[in-house]
Amino acid sequence: MIALYWAEDGRFPPGDRGLAYGDGLFETIRVDGGSAHLKAYHLDRMTRDAARLHIPVNRSELEHIFHQAVERYSVHYSVDSWILKLTLTRGSGGRGYRPSPNMKPNLLVSHAAMPPLAPASGVAVDFSRVPLTVNPLLAGIKSLNRIEQVMAASELQDGLFEVLMANPAGHIVEGTRTNLFIETDDGWRTPSPDSVAVRGVMRRYVIERLRANAEEVHEAPILLDDMLASSCRGVYLTNSVLGVVSVRTLAGQDLPVTGRLATICGSTPKTE
């Protein structure tokens, strides 16, 4: 059983391990007029990542809370889009880092306004000075350990939509809040799931849509040269709230913008 907290009640247990160690997970979900984008994908990921961290939750309990939350907050927004956030932690207690055997997870539910969407004409992107380190055991987990992304996002200046982070091997892996796709002469490419810090639900949706459209998708490293080569037909960032975003300039250099990925996937998918 999960202990449920609503952010608007203004309290959360101070002994929670999410606060103490970032020992938990989160999902941010776009909701339009009472229906949630990629709902099943968000629930899948939180259930899978909780199991990887040995946090005992089941999908149906999460889904029940999800429905409660959408119903509760929808009255504030009527037809507008908004963001539902679920923060799941291992709970309170344990001896230092070591969890106790039978901990009860805490789930904090909150809502927020939609951030501004990116223009279809594309966005300006640069490289982060913060290196990305991904623990192979934790790759892809949308955990509460996000200081690297915070430090990288601190570099965002007005006019810049995102910064891209590279790993120690020099592969360009992802943005602070987005996954990366490029279109080349050989099809589509995105970094492999074992190399990413966060395995976005929109990343999964895009790969599925591409394959459903008989497009080739390779999960393989992306180097700076791959993005700047003449064989590169487009660079895209994906995020479940913001959808598919075309990159217009990378570190001041112009890139081709065809919008083809948004055409294939739809810029804002709705899958209940």
The residues of the shown chain that bind its own copies, judged by CB under 8 A, are 5, 7, 9-23, 26, 53-54, 87, 89-90, 95-99, 108, 110, 115, 130-131, 133-138, 143-154, 156, 176-177
Using CA atoms, how far residue 68 sits from 6, 86, 150, 271, in Å, is 11, 12, 30, 18
Q: Which is nearer to its own copies, 97 or 254 (CB)?
A: 97
Q: Which is nearer to its own copies, 154 or 263 (CB)?
A: 154
> In sequence order, what are the beta bridge partners of 124?
249
Q: How far apart are CA 12 and CA 71, in angstroms?
A: 22
Do the bridges between strand 179-184 and strand 3-6 make them parallel or antiparallel, or are there none, so unpaired?
unpaired
110 with 9: CB under 8 angstroms? no
- Amino acid (1-letter code) at residue 12: F
Q: Toward its own copies, which CB reaches closer, 54 or 75?
A: 54
Closest CB to its own copies among 33 and 131?
A: 131
- The least CB distance from residue 129 to its own copies, in Å, is 8
In angstroms, give the least distance from the CB of 6 to its own copies: 8
> Looking at the chain, how many residues does it have?
272
Q: What are phi and psi of 89, to 5 degrees?
A: -120, 165
**Least distance (Å) between residue 272 CB and its own copies:** 25
3-state secondary structure of 270: coil
Shortest separation between residue 147's beta carbon and its own copies, angstroms:
5
Q: Give the CA distances from residue 145 to residues 22, 41, 141, in Å, rounded to whole numbers and listed in that order.
A: 5, 21, 10
With CA atoms as reference, report the closest residue to 133 among 84, 182, 98, 168: 168
Cβ distance to its own copies smaller for residue 46 or 255: 46
**What is residue 203's three-state secondary structure?**
helix
Distance of closest approach, residue 228 Cβ to its own copies, in angstroms: 25
Minimum distance of its own copies from residue 151's CB (angstroms): 7
Minimum Å gap between C-beta 20 and its own copies is 7
Of 133 and 263, which CB lies nearer to its own copies in the complex structure? Answer: 133
* Beta carbon nearer to its own copies, 75 or 137: 137
Closest listed residue to residue 42, CA positions, set 67, 71, 15, 77: 67
